[in-house]
């Protein structure tokens, strides 16, 4: 039995590593547990790129949180000495009334963010890799860019440890319970106690938070990296990150990075799975679908396949996150249901989870992310 921790964090992906860091930085005795080795690729935070953007089409309420995340990513870069965030600008592409374009425009206007609305010819003039048809426009936001997800997780973990956290990989939490004023977590190796528990278990949330009956659905997502046949068009100086809502579906993509080629993924569909059942091989048809979209809208981007990757989204019914306290135990807090767009927020989510676990409240406006909105919704 190991006692005397202030906070135990179950799950050390994007969200848990950030939480361990923030709690340790506040001088707390922190224990972080993860089932898998450091850098594993079984969850949702692996790979080399994640988009960060500010003119948030999903809902304008996210803007203050992402602005806090930007500031914290820069602080993390300074403290860790790692390069984590590269600004490339970003295009939200679709019809003028589409969710991607209309939502980004609304967030930008409400929060007075810099943006430009470009016609298809203006996009081609500024960013010659894109060939959009007439009637498709783009909201360009200069502050969008790319995070290096594994470097972000490592920076949080390393600094959490430097601030005194005990970080234990290859040690799964088998059972947790509330014990008097504290919590108790059992693993194969030991039993731990602490004042508070944070659960950031990604696609395993349905297991670790089983008692809550949250309406979470895990979805398999495929990304493909292609070597561009016209590399000059897709260099980061000339090609921003992009989200694209077109008749073929909702897609996101990245400029060509050294050794990475261009990466593209489809956002809105994917097989329902669990972390145990996810199919890791990628079909030729899945590659062909992504190649076709690039050939149509970014011709010259899709040459040879360099690499494929599978990953999981943990979706809520409205695709907004859940950040909350356990309804029966105020000292148990959790973050889940990041619905395929959580990574950019991780630095700020770590701060929010720490506030909730240690103070029972946070100054960040997260009311719209409470689990109460799903009361009565069946899992």
Ligand X SMILES: Cc1cc2nc3c(=O)[nH]c(=O)nc-3n(C[C@H](O)[C@H](O)[C@H](O)COP(=O)(O)OP(=O)(O)OC[C@H]3O[C@@H](n4cnc5c(N)ncnc54)[C@H](O)[C@@H]3O)c2cc1C
Kindly tell me which of 11 and 236 has the beta carbon lying closer to ligand X.
11
Q: Is residue 165 close enough to count as binding ligand X by CB under 6 A? A: no
Phi, then psi, of 179 in degrees rounded to 5: -130, 100
Which residue numbers are catalytic?
Answer: 46, 49-50, 263, 267, 311, 344
Out of 5, 16, 183, 214, name the contact with ligand X by CB under 6 A: 16
Q: Is residue 145 close enough to count as binding ligand X by CB under 6 A? A: no
E-strand spans in the chain? 2-10, 30-33, 50-52, 85-87, 90-94, 116-118, 137-141, 145-147, 166-168, 175-179, 182-186, 191-199, 217-226, 241-246, 249-253, 262-266, 305-315, 322-325, 332-336
Q: Is residue 156 close enough to count as binding ligand X by CB under 6 A? A: no
Kindly tell me which of 214 and 221 has the beta carbon lying closer to ligand X.
221
Out of 253, 255, 300, 342, name the contact with ligand X by CB under 6 A: 342
Q: Is residue 115 close enough to count as binding ligand X by CB under 6 A? A: no
Burial classification of residue 53, based on how many CB atoms lie within 10 Å of its CB (0-12 exposed, 13-18 middle, 19 or more buried): buried
Position with the least CB separation from ligand X: 13
Nearest to 210 by CA among 176, 168, 171, 182: 176
CB 49 within 8 A of CB 262: no
Neighbours of 211 (CB within 10 A): 9
d(CA 36, CA 202): 13
Kindly tell me which of 43 and 94 has the beta carbon lying closer to ligand X.
43
At its nearest, how many Å lie between ligand X and the CB of residue 121? 28
d(CA 99, CA 366): 22
Kindly tell me which of 36 and 128 has the beta carbon lying closer to ligand X.
36
Q: Is residue 348 close enough to count as binding ligand X by CB under 6 A? A: no
Among positions 212-271, residues that touch ligand X (CB under 6 A) are 221, 223, 265
At its nearest, how many Å lie between ligand X and the CB of residue 311? 3
Burial classification of residue 173, based on how many CB atoms lie within 10 Å of its CB (0-12 exposed, 13-18 middle, 19 or more buried): buried
d(CA 323, CA 62): 13
Q: Is residue 311 close enough to count as binding ligand X by CB under 6 A? A: yes
Among positions 194-213, residues that touch ligand X (CB under 6 A) are 200-204, 208
Out of 6, 11, 347, 366, name the contact with ligand X by CB under 6 A: 11
Out of 34, 54, 141, 150, name the contact with ligand X by CB under 6 A: 34
By CB under 6 A, name the binding residues for ligand X. Answer: 10-16, 33-36, 43-45, 50-51, 172-173, 200-204, 208, 221, 223, 265, 311-313, 338, 340-344
């Amino acid at each position: 039995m190991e006692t005397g921790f202030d906070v135990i964090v179950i799950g050390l992906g994007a969200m848990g590593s950030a939480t361990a860091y923030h709690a340790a930085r506040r001088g707390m005795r922190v224990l972080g547990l993860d089932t898998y080795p450091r850098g594993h690729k079984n969850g949702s935070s692996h790979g080399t790129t994640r988009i960060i953007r500010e003119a948030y089409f999903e809902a304008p309420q996210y803007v203050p949180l992402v602005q806090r995340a930007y500031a914290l990513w820069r602080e993390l870069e300074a403290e860790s000495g790692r390069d984590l965030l590269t600004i490339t600008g970003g295009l939200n592409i679709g019809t003028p009334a589409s969710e991607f374009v209309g939502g980004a425009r609304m967030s930008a206007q409400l929060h007075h963010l810099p943006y430009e609305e470009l016609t298809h010819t203006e996009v081609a003039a500024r960013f010659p890799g894109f060939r959009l048809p007439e009637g498709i426009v783009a909201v360009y936001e200069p502050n969008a860019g790319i995070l290096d997800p594994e470097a972000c997780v490592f920076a949080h973990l390393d600094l959490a440890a430097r601030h005194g956290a005990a970080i234990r990989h290859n040690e799964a939490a088998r059972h947790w319970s509330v014990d008097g004023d504290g919590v108790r977590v059992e693993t194969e190796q030991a039993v731990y106690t602490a004042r508070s528990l944070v659960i950031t278990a990604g696609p395993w949330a349905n297991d670790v938070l089983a008692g809550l009956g949250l309406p979470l659905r895990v979805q398999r997502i495929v990304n493909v990296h292609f070597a561009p046949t016209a590399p000059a068009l897709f260099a980061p100086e000339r090609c921003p990150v992009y989200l694209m809502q077109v008749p073929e579906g909702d897609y996101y993509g990245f400029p060509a990075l050294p050794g990475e080629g261009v990466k593209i993924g489809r956002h809105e569909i994917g097989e329902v799975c669990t972390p145990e059942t996810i199919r890791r091989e990628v079909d030729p048809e899945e590659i062909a679908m992504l190649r076709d979209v690039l050939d149509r809208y970014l011709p010259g981007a899709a040459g040879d396949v360099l690499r494929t990757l599978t990953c999981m989204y943990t979706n809520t019914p409205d695709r907004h996150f859940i950040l909350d306290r356990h309804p029966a135990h105020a000292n148990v807090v959790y973050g889940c249901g990041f619905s395929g767009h959580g990574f950019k927020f991780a630095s700020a989510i770590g701060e929010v989870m720490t506030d909730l676990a240690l103070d029972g409240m946070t100054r960040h406006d997260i009311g719209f992310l409470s689990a109460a909105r799903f009361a009565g919704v069946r899992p």
